[in-house]
């Protein structure tokens, strides 16, 4: 079961990834995790990627794709994987298809969690995190017991700069511009499953489960 998980910021993609990991024996692979793993293992591609990461530049596609190919060939991916954050562009999707052919695998489903922009904006701008234990709260739906203080460790709560106002609107705009062509690419292959993310996380997962178990 080889899955690509898609969804805009605030759609609950991370929550669903966590639930999928609990219920299915497949690794959740994000682009950031792949880069960090390759860098820590000091693979040739990891060393190359680190040069760009250290200078604040985007890692070129050829390096990213090489790291993806290495990761998907590892033993824990034999029963499948949940790919998150890759591909982001059509050239990356084409390259992933070539990687999958070499591994004698195929993408089984592209799960796209969608939520209306106005709800996403309310969700994201209400998010605050603990500086110490990283617990995330939402001031609208899951507020801390005491304003500005983490329930778990008493740490200070803060809001990330990219979770504020105009920045959120821009993030969603960029996501749509980047992702819509990719969704169309996979829709032509009959792989896209759109799921309403404006519901309780368990209701969303029930739909995810139905998709995964029908493949």
- The residues that are catalytic are 13, 88, 127, 160, 171
Contact 120/9 with Cβ under 8 angstroms? Answer: yes
Distance CA 27, CA 82 (A): 6
User: What are the backbone dihedrals phi and psi of residue 37, each rounded to the nearest 5 degrees, phi first?
Assistant: -65, -45
Nearest-angstrom CA–CA distance, 89 and 137 = 31
DSSP 34: H
What counts of helices (H) and strands (E) characterise the chain?
Answer: 8, 8
**CA separation for the pair 21, 31 (Å, rounded):** 17
DSSP state of 76: G
């Amino acid at each position: 079961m080889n899955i690509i998980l898609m969804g805009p910021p605030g759609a609950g993609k991370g929550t669903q990834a966590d639930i999928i990991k609990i219920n299915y024996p497949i690794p959740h692979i994000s682009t950031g995790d792949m880069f960090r793993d390759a860098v820590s293992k000091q693979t040739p591609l990891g060393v190359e990627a680190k040069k760009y990461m250290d200078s604040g530049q985007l890692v070129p596609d050829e390096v990213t794709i090489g790291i993806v190919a290495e990761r998907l060939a590892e033993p824990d991916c034999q029963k499948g994987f949940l790919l998150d954050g890759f591909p982001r562009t059509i050239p990356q999707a084409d390259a992933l298809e070539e990687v999958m052919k070499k591994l004698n695998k195929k993408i089984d489903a592209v799960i796209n969690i969608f939520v209306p922009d106005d709800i996403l904006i309310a969700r994201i701008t209400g998010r605050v995190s603990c500086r110490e234990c990283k617990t995330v709260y939402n001031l609208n739906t899951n507020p801390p017991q005491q304003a500005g203080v983490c329930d778990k460790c008493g740490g200070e709560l803060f809001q990330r700069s990219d979770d504020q106002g105009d920045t959120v609107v821009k993030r969603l705009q960029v996501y749509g511009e980047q992702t819509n062509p990719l969704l169309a690419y996979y829709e032509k292959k009959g792989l896209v499953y759109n799921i309403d993310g404006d519901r309780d996380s368990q209701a969303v997962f029930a739909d995810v489960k139905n998709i995964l178990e029908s493949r």
